[in-house]
Amino acid sequence: MPSPSETSFFSRRLSQIIQRFRQKVRRPFQTENQQMTEKDAQGSMKGDVRMAEAAGWVFGGVMLVALLVSRFAFKKSQGRESRSIDKQVVLQSDLPFPPMELRRIVGPTEDEAYDNPDGSFVFGDLGIGPLEAGEAYRRVFDFGCGCGRNARQLLLQQRPPEQYVGIDVGIGMIKWCQRNLSPPKSNFSFHHHDVWSQTYAPGNTRGNSVLPLTEFGRDFTLINAHSVFTHLYEHQTLFYLDQCRDLLAERGIFRTTWFFFNRDWFPVLNPGQHCVYVNSDDPTQAVYYDWSFFAETIEGLGFKIVGVGWHPTPGYQHEVLLAKGPEFPNLMPQLELSPNVLGFGGSAPPPLLQDREFIYA
Ligand SMILES: C[S@@+](CC[C@H](N)C(=O)[O-])C[C@H]1O[C@@H](n2cnc3c(N)ncnc32)[C@H](O)[C@@H]1O
């Protein structure tokens, strides 16, 4: 709002301009008689001042409205910009990649393993059994999410999950994910799971070998455990398979990966032993599971096998998709194991060995 002194300044200036204009316009055409008297001139001058004052107020008002409109437009454009930045973060990504020291903890270090440039479904469309393509990605629980490798890829999907909950025993990785992979409005959250692990979490509470998962929610349509059961002791695996079954929706998929072997090649395993551990310093560096024990265990927990992905590298980790809902078909009865599963196919032991009972080493 212009101040009174500003208004009278505008008024005076406008009045002078009008006067000068009138003089210029009238002079060439006015006769002697038509010349203004002093009184007329004063009257005219007063009228000009009133006109100029009114014009001053109008001018001030217009300036004020213009100022308000421009401020409003600026604020609106700022809002639009920040909204589009959120969207970019979630959809196109200026998402940071985890630092190398964190990538080395979980394994793959190359950018491609963390990226999803075309926004596709990270594990295929998972349109299995009753599920529509992409439906499984609605609510994701990532057990052992590491430094957010799959979380980052999921955030970059053309259709990111409505909810994602990642947990891991590694506090440093979780803090990094919380700071970098939880863009506003994404509904991605990361939680520290205080279970002790010699390699991944030596600073966690020593006595904790398992902790319940039920506090993280239920009815997840996709539970992902990529390269996690490959690093758990047998008793941990049994506990977490059971927990994950409780967290899984009836129309949900449980994605797991495993190192498997055929126990027929290991006559020294007693009937209660089902795993082969590769490292005496940290046995969980890589844990191989007897296929028949795995098959019986998941069946006993009410899971069906609804998909498999055999790794091309023999003896490396294979993908097994599980589900518990009645609408899913069970592939287990007709499943043929790939020769890339240690001890099956071409690498199966000769019949003589298969018939052996347990023998002491
Ligand atoms: C090989 S990394 C895989 C990480 C991630 N899933 C990926 O694919 O990038 C194994 C992960 O399992 C985590 N882990 C190990 N024991 C765990 C447990 N009991 N509960 C949750 N996470 C665990 C480790 O901290 C580590 O991040």
pTM of the model: 0.76
Using a 6 Å cutoff on CB, does residue 231 contact ligand 1?
A: yes
- The answer on 216 and 69 residing in a single domain is no
Using a 6 Å cutoff on CB, does residue 225 contact ligand 1?
A: no
Using a 6 Å cutoff on CB, does residue 304 contact ligand 1?
A: no
- The answer on 75 and 161 residing in a single domain is no
By alpha-carbon position, which residue is closest to atom 12 of ligand 1? 144
What's the CATH number where 237 sits?
Answer: 3.40.50.150
- The answer on 348 and 209 residing in a single domain is yes
Using a 6 Å cutoff on CB, does residue 106 contact ligand 1?
A: yes
201 part of a folded domain = yes
Contacts 24+ apart (CB under 8 A), 126-134: 126/222, 126/253, 126/321, 128/253, 128/306, 128/307, 128/321, 128/323, 128/328, 129/306, 129/323, 129/325, 129/327, 129/328, 129/329, 130/251, 130/325, 130/327, 130/328, 131/251, 131/253, 134/159
148 part of a folded domain = yes
What is the token pair recorded at 53? 């004052």
359 part of a folded domain = no
- The answer on 348 and 320 residing in a single domain is yes
361 part of a folded domain = no
| Residue 11: exposure state from Cβ atoms within 10 A (0-12, 13-18, ≥19) | buried
Q: What are the residues whose beta carbons fall under 8 Å from the beta carbon of 119, sequence distance 6 or more?
A: 91, 156, 157, 158
360 part of a folded domain = no
Report the nearest atom of ligand 1 relative to the CA of 210.
Answer: 19
- The answer on 142 and 129 residing in a single domain is yes
Q: How many CA atoms lie within 13 A of 346 on its CB side?
A: 4
Residue 73 belongs to domain spanning: 4-87
- The answer on 117 and 50 residing in a single domain is no
Distance, CA of 292 to CA of 226 (rounded, Å): 21
pLDDT in tens, the chain (361 residues): 444 444 444 445 545 544 554 444 333 333 333 333 344 434 444 544 454 455 556 555 555 555 455 454 444 444 443 333 344 444 445 899 999 999 999 999 999 999 999 999 999 999 999 999 999 999 999 999 999 999 999 999 999 999 999 999 999 999 999 999 999 889 999 999 999 999 999 999 999 999 999 999 999 999 999 999 999 999 999 999 999 999 999 999 999 999 999 999 998 999 999 999 999 999 999 999 999 999 999 999 999 999 999 999 999 999 999 999 999 999 999 999 999 999 998 888 887 766 777 777 7
Tally of domains within the chain: 2
Query: What is the rounded end-to-end Cα distance, in angstroms, of the chain?
Result: 97
Closest CA to 308 of 274, 260, 239, 276: 260
- The answer on 83 and 188 residing in a single domain is no
Using a 6 Å cutoff on CB, does residue 103 contact ligand 1?
A: no
- The answer on 119 and 167 residing in a single domain is yes
- The answer on 187 and 254 residing in a single domain is yes
Spacing, Cα 263 to ligand 1 middle (Å): 26
223 part of a folded domain = yes
Q: Tell me which of 65, 87, 109 is where a domain ends.
A: 87
- The answer on 266 and 197 residing in a single domain is yes
Using a 6 Å cutoff on CB, does residue 146 contact ligand 1?
A: yes
- The answer on 59 and 98 residing in a single domain is no
By alpha-carbon position, which residue is closest to atom 27 of ligand 1? 146
Q: Tell me which of 66, 87, 108 is where a domain ends.
A: 87
Spacing, Cα 21 to ligand 1 middle (Å): 85
What is the token pair recorded at 109? 């270090």
Q: Tell me which of 58, 87, 116 is where a domain ends.
A: 87
59 part of a folded domain = yes
Helix axes 38-87, 4-26, angle to 10 degrees: 120
Using a 6 Å cutoff on CB, does residue 224 contact ligand 1?
A: no
- The answer on 119 and 53 residing in a single domain is no
31 part of a folded domain = yes
